[in-house]
A and B are shown apart, each in its own frame.
Chain A
Amino acid sequence: MSNIIKLEIYRYDPEKDAEPSMQAFEVPVTKAGMKLLDVLNYIKWHIDGTLTYRKSCGEGVCGSDGLNINGVNGLACITPIAGLKQPIKVRPLPSMNVIRDLVVDMEHFFDQYRSIKPWLQADSPLPEHERLQSPEERAELDGSYECIMCGCCTTSCPSWWWNGDRFLGPATLLQADRWLKDSRDEKIGERLDQLEDAFKLYRCHQIMNCMDCCPKELNPTKAIDHIKRTLLIRKS
């Protein structure tokens, strides 16, 4: 790899710019194993302090730096520069309203998440300490509890691009399935009632973009299929 990293970064300030543009940057390699977030930080700290992006944990835990990197959604903090074709094209998550540069408005995404009531709901009296699960019941949640709600999957889903106002999208549906699978939750019926809808759920056509881009290697398509099958079992 050469000592210079070439990038083209989406720039847009809705208050000043008539339209978005791509700005070229060249950044020196400062250490081995650099991640895209290191490069964005270098630009922000040494070249152009106006570059705007979200970040927090820097290690793939908080889910705040989901970006479109060379056409594929992913987290800047865990995307190694080494594997990327240069100039690296960095854009905000697709189909989202841009607040500035790489920062998008996640309001609707989290509204949808809230709509599935992503918390434990149970009417039975609380045990003295906590509601317990067997190791097997806990293992049922593997593959969904790891989701960090970065939005990479949902914003790569063509069905969500077309019908995002109604289709809940892969991230929210993965979480909906997580609560259906939770042995301690007692509102499965209500949860299923809320999901049985041609637009909320059945817009998923198993295109599998969501699964391909998930930085946590989760499989929302499988979870969506599980919800559909659970609804079918309930009906039959």
Chain B
Amino acid sequence: MNKDRGAAHNGLTDWYWQRLSAVMLLVLIPLPFALLCAVYMGVLDQFELLEIFSHFVPLLLHTLLVFAIIVHAYFGLKLIIEDYVPAALMRVPLTGVILLIMGTIGIWWLALIWAWGG
């Protein structure tokens, strides 16, 4: 007996954003590490580090990094929930909670760095 309910036409957007954010992370993640290494090796001190983050381009890169981290984490967690929580009654609210948490962290982080810049 064929009980196929057809396709829900979803999943592509999640997959696309997860891939895009992964590429962004790949490019952006080395930058803070390079800065941390510079501090560790004494090339930069803490004040010079903060000074760097008061300029527009580093702020923009930081913003993109935050965006990539939040988007990647959200879609990663959503995927895990879809994998392991079969009951839609649990899955859908749980995904909503994750979205809320990730959104809050993202906004808080961005507010912090842009306030610094201003």
Residues in chain A within 8 A of chain B (CB atoms): 111, 114-115, 159, 162-163, 193-203, 205, 228, 231-232, 235
Residues in chain B within 8 A of chain A (CB atoms): 2, 4, 6-12, 14-16, 79, 82-84, 86
* CB <8 Å contact, A198 and B11: yes
Contacts across chains A and B counted by CB atoms under 8 Å:
50
Task: Determine the chain B residues whose CB is within 8 A of the CB of A196 once the complex forms.
Answer: 7-12
* CB <8 Å contact, B82 and A115: no
CA distance A225 to B9 in the complex (A): 17
Task: Determine the chain A residues whose CB is within 8 A of the CB of B86 once the complex forms.
Answer: 163
Q: Pick the contact of A202: B4, B6, B15 (CB < 8 A).
A: B15
From residue B11, how far is it (CB to closest CB) to chain A in Å? 3
CA distance A198 to B12 in the complex (A): 7
Please give me the residue from chain A that is nearest to B7 by CB atom.
A197
CA distance A118 to B86 in the complex (A): 28
* CB <8 Å contact, A115 and B2: yes
From residue A113, how far is it (CB to closest CB) to chain B in Å? 12
Task: Determine the chain A residues whose CB is within 8 A of the CB of B10 once the complex forms.
Answer: 196-198
* CB <8 Å contact, A115 and B4: yes
CA distance A198 to B84 in the complex (A): 14
CA distance A232 to B86 in the complex (A): 27
Please give me the residue from chain B that is nearest to A205 by CB atom.
B79
From residue A190, how far is it (CB to closest CB) to chain B in Å? 10
Most chain A beta-carbon contacts within 10 A, residue among B9, B11, B15, B84: B11
